[in-house]
Amino acid sequence: MSASGLVTVPILLAQSEDGLSTGTMLQIWHRLYKCGHSQNPKLAVVSSSAFAYLAWCASRTPGDRVSMFLFGAAASLVTGIVPFTLLFMLPTNHSILAKVAEAEMSPNASVQKPEHNTSKQLLAHWATLTGLRGLLPLVGGIVGLLAVLDR
The model's pLDDT over 86-130, given as tens digits with 9 standing for 90+, comes to 999 999 999 999 999 998 887 665 555 556 689 999 999 999 999
Kindly indicate the confidence band of residue 1, based on its pLDDT and cuts at 50, 70 and 90. Answer: low
Radius of gyration for the alpha carbons in the chain, expressed in angstroms and rounded = 19
What integer pLDDT is reported at residue 100 of this predicted model? 94
Which residue in 9, 34, 138, 146 sits closest to 80, CA to CA? 138
Residue 121: how many CB atoms within 10 A of its CB?
12
- 90 CB-side CA count, 13 A: 7
What integer pLDDT is reported at residue 109 of this predicted model? 58
What distances in angstroms separate CA 132 from CA 14, 45, 93, 96, one per listed residue?
A: 21, 19, 15, 18
What integer pLDDT is reported at residue 150 of this predicted model? 84
Phi/psi for 108 (5° steps) reads -95, -5
> The pTM is what?
0.89
Residue 11 has pLDDT above 60, yes or no: yes
What integer pLDDT is reported at residue 42 of this predicted model? 93
Q: What does the pLDDT average to over 122-141?
A: 96
Long-range CB contacts for residues 67-75, cutoff 8 Å, separation at least 24:
67/147, 67/150, 67/151, 70/143, 70/144, 70/146, 70/147, 70/150, 71/144, 71/147, 73/140, 73/143, 74/48, 74/140, 74/141, 74/143, 74/144, 74/147, 75/48, 75/49, 75/51, 75/140
Domain that holds residue 110: 3-150
Alpha-carbon distance of 37 to 3, in angstroms, equals 13
Number of folded domains in the chain? 1
101: alpha, beta or left, given left = phi > 0 and alpha = psi -120 to 50? alpha
Q: What does the pLDDT average to over 29-33?
A: 94
Kindly indicate the confidence band of residue 5, based on its pLDDT and cuts at 50, 70 and 90. Answer: confident
